[in-house]
Structure 1
Amino acid sequence: MKIFIMRHGEAGYCATGDADRPLTGLGKSESVSVMKQANDIQKISVDKVLISPYLRAQETWREIAAYVEARSITTCDDITPYGKSDRVFDYLMALADIERVNSFFLVSHLPLVGYLTSEFVRDMPAPMFPTSGLACLDYVPETQKGELLWRLAPK
């Protein structure tokens, strides 16, 4: 199973609340830059995209959507900055089992992106993700073994 985990692009602070913070121009361009780097490694095609409902994650997805071939795209309330990595992991495993989803692309936030990465790659401490950072993981549910294949950050 392939899992792509991306942290949203850089966001501004002028908003009525955390969920309403928009991307900056730099956040938009760095997100696209990372996806261009990713597509140099491999074409990204997934069964399901899950996006945080927060504005900066939604805007990140809009910027990068052309670089990801996706069968299904869903806003997921569980992948906000306050999401619980063990619950998100269980949810993804349930989707894999029930809906036969074999690949995911998530656009989310710190600290969840780091903790979720370590749910899949259990022998690795939670990595830090820069804004627009992207990780590609391979996970085998039958053996419960995961591997970090690559990570990208804006140049």
Structure 2
Amino acid sequence: MKIYIMRHGQAGLYANSDAERELTGTGRQQSADMADWLSAIEPTLDCVLHSPYIRAAQTWDVIGNFFTVNKVEVCEDITPYGDAEFIADYVKALVAQHNHETILLVSHLPVVSYLTSAMTAGKHMPAFATSAIACLEMNGNDCHLKWLETPASIK
């Protein structure tokens, strides 16, 4: 089973609140580039979870057409300061209950790094560039970081 963790695309700095920050043109393009690259490897996703913050929802809007997707869910828990252990447990429950083979989460720093650490039992806590995607492989209770790619690394 594979879990893909993606940080949203580059966003503008100014908005009425952090939750209302929107993607820049660069953020849209880099997210599309990453989705084009990932969809060549993984064209079908069983489940997508994305943050309700505008920049994460917009990232999903940009990348969603690159994949065949069975289920999309706005997840209130995967905001920047969400509880990584809770999110990890939720993802594991989705796998167990629905037999999902591929899950994509679109979220934010710092929770994407903390979630990677929680899923890999503290073995990895990578820094995520905007639009970066990490691939975690899960076999039973064992989960490891397979790769982390950025818009610059796929060129």
Check whether the contact 1:34–1:154 (CA below 8 A) recurs between aligned residues: yes
Change (3 A) 1:17 1:111: same
Q: Counterpart of 1:107?
A: 106
The separation in 1 between residues aligned to 2:14 and 2:144, in whole angstroms, is: 38
TM-score by length of 2: 0.92
Alignment of 1:66-105 (within 5 A): 66-105=65-104
Task: Give the AA of the match of 2:96.
Answer: D
Q: Counterpart of 2:28?
A: 28
Task: Give the AA of the match of 2:147.
Answer: W
Q: Counterpart of 1:122?
A: 121
Check whether the contact 2:124–2:145 (CA below 8 A) recurs between aligned residues: no
Task: Give the AA of the match of 1:9.
Answer: G
Q: State the number of aligned residues.
A: 152
The separation in 1 between residues aligned to 2:145 and 2:80, in whole angstroms, is: 22
The separation in 2 between residues aligned to 1:66 and 1:128, in whole angstroms, is: 27
TM-score by length of 1: 0.92
Q: Counterpart of 2:58?
A: 59
Q: Counterpart of 2:150?
A: 153
Q: How far is the alpha carbon of 1:154 from its aligned partner?
A: 1.1
Structure 2 unmatched ranges of 5 or more:
none
Q: How far is the alpha carbon of 1:123 from its aligned partner?
A: 5.2
Matched, 1:6 2:6: yes
The separation in 1 between residues aligned to 2:96 and 2:42, in whole angstroms, is: 24
Check whether the contact 2:19–2:53 (CA below 8 A) recurs between aligned residues: yes
* SS of alignment partner, residue 62 of structure 2: helix
Check whether the contact 1:38–1:152 (CA below 8 A) recurs between aligned residues: no
Q: Counterpart of 2:138?
A: 139
Q: Counterpart of 1:38?
A: 38
Task: Give the AA of the match of 2:39.
Answer: N
Aligned-residue Cα RMSD (Å) equals: 1.3
The separation in 2 between residues aligned to 1:149 and 1:99, in whole angstroms, is: 23
* SS of alignment partner, residue 30 of structure 2: helix
Cα shift readout 1:21-62 (whole Å, capped 9, x = no counterpart): 00000000011112222234x133221100000000000001
Check whether the contact 1:46–1:69 (CA below 8 A) recurs between aligned residues: yes
Which stretch shows the higher mean deviation, 115-124 or 53-62? 115-124
The separation in 2 between residues aligned to 1:38 and 1:49, in whole angstroms, is: 14
> Taking every aligned residue pair, what percent have the same amino acid on both sides?
41
The separation in 2 between residues aligned to 1:126 and 1:114, in whole angstroms, is: 5
